[in-house]
A and B are shown apart, each in its own frame.
Chain A
Amino acid sequence: NAGVTQTPKFQVLKTGQSMTLQCAQDMNHNSMYWYRQDPGMGLRLIYYSASEGTTDKGEVPNGYNVSRLNKREFSLRLESAAPSQTSVYFCASRQKQGATNQPQHFGDGTRLSIL
């Protein structure tokens, strides 16, 4: 049981380039999340998806787009990367159908540097 898998683990981009961060979970969870973690600022929610085909903005959505095409996968896209988007990105999932009080489960992160 792999849990939450994020790819790639590391990436270096030039300003203006685009890329998609991939996330997949095998726990049959309904909800999925994208966070960024910056030094001294904790984790901040970028986007949230309650179920397949639905997405909702979080605290810091500007410069990002997301796609939840199926229950397993939730991708995060940077259309035109900026140095301010240098960060560690975490994907998380939660909540099997009918379960309550369940915590989020996190992937190991993608470390993204934008030059």
Chain B
Amino acid sequence: KQEVTQIPAALSVPEGENLVLNCSFTDSAIYNLQWFRQDPGKGLTSLLLIQSSQREQTSGRLNASLDKSSGRSTLYIAASQPGDSATYLCAVTPPEASGTYKYIFGTGTRLKVLA
């Protein structure tokens, strides 16, 4: 059974620092991997989606990479800002769910960027 892990559970960094969030999954056979942001009391906002055939995706200060063979994805945030403070979740879509996008979620990393 696919399991998704995000370590650390919480992270505090000073403003301006470049940082990396980690996501690990136990079964390398995935259809895609998605990174989300969740603000307190809010739903999830999609950040980046990486297809299984891709190595990385970029959007502004965010860069997500995917290494299926090692079962890992990283979300790189450049020049962090207090507004980046949120919980970041990754989710994978197993191959059998390619039509339904039934995600399997990690438990998230709670990021706090200190001004």
Contacts and interface: CB of A to CB of B under 8 A. Distances in A.
Summarize A's interface: helix, strand, loop or mixed: strand
Interface residues of A, number: 25
Given A95-B101, A101-B51, A41 B107 contact: yes
Given A43-B89, A90-B43, A103 B34 contact: yes
Nearest to A106: B43
A84 B13 CA distance: 35
B102 A48 contact: yes
B69 interface: no
B47 to A, nearest CB: 9
B114 to A, nearest CB: 24
Interface in A71-115: 90, 92, 94-95, 101, 103-109
Interface of B: 4, 32, 34, 41-46, 49, 51, 89, 91, 100-103, 105-108
